[in-house]
Amino acid sequence: MYYIVCKNINVESKTTLLTEEKLLVTGGRKLEGKVEISGAKNAAVAIIAAALLVEGQVTIENIPNITDAQVMLNALENLGVEVVRLDNKTYRIDATKINNHKTPYGELSKIRSSYYFVGALLGRCNNAEVTFPGGCNFGQRPIDQHIKGFEALGATVEISGGYIKAKAKKLIGSKVYFDVPTVGATINTILAATLAEGVTILENSNREPHIVDMANFLNMMGADIKGAGTNVIRITGVHKLEGGKTYTVSPDMIEAGTFMIAAAATKGNVTVANIIPEHMESLSAKLIETGATIEVGDDYITVKGTKKSVPVNIKTLPYPGFPTDLHPQMVSYLLDIDGQSNLTEGVFDTRRFNYVEQLQRMQGDIRIEGSTAIINGGKKLNGAPVRASDLRAAAALVIAGLVADGVTCIYNLEYLDRGYENFVEKIQALGANVKRVKES
């Protein structure tokens, strides 16, 4: 985040300084204690867009206090939707009246989930003009499968002037086979199909928990969506969704995973609470393989790290495979384990490895071969000034800083703020020596 600070302002002299925030991480401390996990970013942003389909008031609890969710809420207001903040994490949204089918450009162009307004506005008004999405830059992120879904339902889609423009006289249920099991296209096609006429069947759908979360929200409001969480989803269109209900966003499995990895990496002992442990199975399995101890409760997992960790091989895959969004954090941990680990990226292209250069500045011994990072672990990392290249890269640099010698100074904190609620406060409470400061 950048602040323009003006000092000594008077008529004769104006000094303008650019101030950037940075995180100072001093390595060497074990993380210990309990951390409460917030609502899931990727579920919250989808559910906020889904609220556009509801003609009535809905209350959504456990929305994480992060930039991406805030940008989505602001965009709803711009469409004429009434958004009332009831507390830090609870919003009452009333989309009975909307006065626009075009989103404002600005902030929405920086985040990925802006594309959910295409499905939602198309479903609600048969007409959508939505800012072309931005988001983390780790490779090609095409939207051809979203377009395939909309077109199958009878819409025409055009991309021009930085906008996705989609229109239909009427949306009619259809069968869609996704060429790749994509999160975004699965959610977007559900949004468009919920109020369409007839039945839509989505095959080779993504199975992520946040798809289930959004489907549960819509079903609570009167939609008929079956099979979310499997790779075949059946949506029977309904005439209208009515509000009057309260929905709670489920916990963030990536935030939970980030703290679990940080606990193992620092050889600490951390209880990650308020989670759905089943969502964490692929990560728990890999942490156990490294030698960490995992204790699973009803809604928590306790991770105990060990000095005798062993290297592992991992491939990221769509859920229930190992999440790509835990890839950079895991590499930071593997750098601290004696021996060679390999991590193959199976979801995004090689730009997902953008963070590697920063870990190399900390003397991380990593080389990339094709889509695999070869990690020669066990050599002590050294603190250095580094820049986050995306949201999960930011978290990975914090973990690297926690196990490094000396101080790691992390810039580009706007990435961290996009997706982790109170990250600094939470990790400080576990004993990490982390400070957020402003640099002129």
Active-site positions? 136
- Select the residue interacting with ligand EPU from 38, 126, 145, 189 (CB under 6 A): 145
Q: Does 144 bind ligand EPU (CB under 6 A)?
A: yes
- The region of 53-61, 141-149, 290-298, 420-428 touching ligand EPU under the rule CB under 6 A is 141-149
Q: CB of 161 within 8 A of CB of 179?
A: no
Mention every residue, 6+ apart, whose C-beta is less than 8 A from residue 408.
Answer: 24, 25, 27, 362, 383, 384, 385, 386, 397, 400, 401
Residues 312-371 contacting ligand EPU, CB under 6 A:
324-325, 347-348
Mention every residue, 6+ apart, whose C-beta is less than 8 A from residue 87.
Answer: none
Alpha helices by DSSP H, 317-429? 327-334, 356-361, 391-403, 414-419, 423-429
Identify which of 60, 103, 108, 66 has the alpha carbon closest to the alpha carbon of residue 85: 60
| Count of positions on this chain that bind ligand EPU (CB under 6 A) | 27
Q: CB of 173 within 8 A of CB of 235?
A: yes
Nearer of residues 17 and 180 to ligand EPU, judged by Cβ:
180
Q: Does 184 bind ligand EPU (CB under 6 A)?
A: yes
Token pair belonging to 32: 């210990």
Q: CB of 178 within 8 A of CB of 148?
A: yes
Q: Does 131 bind ligand EPU (CB under 6 A)?
A: no
- Select the residue interacting with ligand EPU from 22, 101, 392, 426 (CB under 6 A): 392
- Select the residue interacting with ligand EPU from 10, 15, 16, 140 (CB under 6 A): 140
- Select the residue interacting with ligand EPU from 146, 279, 327, 361 (CB under 6 A): 146
From its phi and psi, is residue 126 left (phi > 0), alpha (psi between -120 and 50) or beta? Answer: left
Q: Within 10 Å of residue 159's Cβ, how many Cβ atoms? A: 12
Q: Within 10 Å of residue 321's Cβ, how many Cβ atoms? A: 14
Residues 86-115 contacting ligand EPU, CB under 6 A:
112-113
Q: Does 185 bind ligand EPU (CB under 6 A)?
A: yes
| Shortest distance (Å) from residue 255 CB to ligand EPU | 10
For residue 271, CA distances in Å to 65, 71, 207 come to 22, 31, 26
- Select the residue interacting with ligand EPU from 57, 62, 131, 182 (CB under 6 A): 182
| Shortest distance (Å) from residue 320 CB to ligand EPU | 12
Residues 419-438 contacting ligand EPU, CB under 6 A:
419
- Select the residue interacting with ligand EPU from 27, 40, 42, 250 (CB under 6 A): 42
| Shortest distance (Å) from residue 41 CB to ligand EPU | 6
DSSP assigned state of 352 = G
| Shortest distance (Å) from residue 92 CB to ligand EPU | 23
| Residues near ligand EPU (CB under 6 A) | 41-42, 45, 112-113, 136, 140-146, 180, 182-185, 206, 254, 324-325, 347-348, 391-392, 419
